[in-house]
Amino acid sequence: MLLQHHFLPNDGVGLARIEFIINSAIKVHPMACVHPEKITDAKIRETVEQCALGYKTLPEFFVSTLAQGIGTIAAAFYPKPVIVRTSDFKSNEYQNLIAGTYFELKEENPMIGLRGASRYYNENYQEAFVLECAALKKVREEMGLTNIKILIPFVRTPQEGQKVVGILAHEGLKQGTDGLEIIMMCEIPSNVILIDKFGTVFDGFSIGSNDLTQLVLGVDRDSGLLTSMFDERDEAVQQMMSSAIAGAQRNNRYIGICGQAPSDYPEIARSLIAQGIDSISLNPDSIVSFINGFDISSHS
């Protein structure tokens, strides 16, 4: 839990995942809070309604609970920046939530299916994404925690990015208002190839080394059969990261990394720092050992 580690040396939170809050505190599929009438099993519907005891409506339960979770993290690190990623469950993971089977279609390859940005404007989820927006707005406006930045995952095209930024603005989360920054995960080869165009849509980038490695090498990171092939140190992956950093710098945009690679491989972190990356997110259990083994003062 992030709160247990706020005392460690840090400059904020590079990745706070909304789906972790949904999974641990809400437990209900977000669309079940919007359309409980679609749940035909009386016991499951009763379970959904019991989760929201004490709240006037299911949407209020979802928004308030999510806002409390985000706000707790943002307050613990205030005024340092906390980058909050909107939900990035895959369809098979959404199915595991309470009432999830009523709102998810089976996909043969969820890893590259309806996830991230494409889900937010899809008719099967857009109403739930509006609730996510309401929670983020509540944290920034009602709680006054304007240190949160919004991170959008799995944006396949610049046009898709514009759609999502448009939805955020429509829901009261407009870029620049009270310093709001909207950042994009850089985790698809198209993100690197078209980084100049993505840079006109977003305020910055956060490299997701897990998905970037998966999609550059064509390796399913969930497949135990291909474990030996999944390696963030691969030359092709390193070249993509370098191109992303250079592209962000060329466009005067923030770029950090929130993937697993720097925690597992200090040599990757050293290389990224040498290239001028703006921030590196580490697993809490690797922060102290990383600092002890790396002379930060030698890099500005």
18-26: average pLDDT: 96
pLDDT at 4 over 50: yes
Asked whether the domain spanning 181-293 has the same topology as the one spanning 1-146, the reply is yes
Residue type, 222: D
pLDDT at 300 over 60: no
Q: Where are the domains positioned within the chain? A: 1-146, 181-293
Query: What would the DSSP string read from start to end of 6-35?
Result: TTSS-SSEEEEEHHHHIIIII-B-HHHHH-
Query: 181-293 has which fold?
Result: TIM Barrel (3.20.20)
79: preceding bond cis by omega (within 30 degrees)? yes
What stretches of the chain adopt beta strand conformation (E)?
Answer: 13-17, 82-85, 148-152, 182-186, 204-207, 254-257, 279-280
Query: 1-146 has which fold?
Result: TIM Barrel (3.20.20)
- 125-139, 162-176, 254-268: range with lowest mean pLDDT: 254-268
- Summarize pLDDT for 63-78 with one digit per residue, the tens: 999 999 999 999 999 9
Residue type, 157: T
48-54: average pLDDT: 95
pLDDT band at 296 (very low <50, low <70, confident <90, very high): very low
Could you give the angle at which helices 58-77 and 42-51 cross, rounded to 10 degrees?
Answer: 40
Could you give the angle at which helices 126-137 and 158-170 cross, rounded to 10 degrees?
Answer: 60
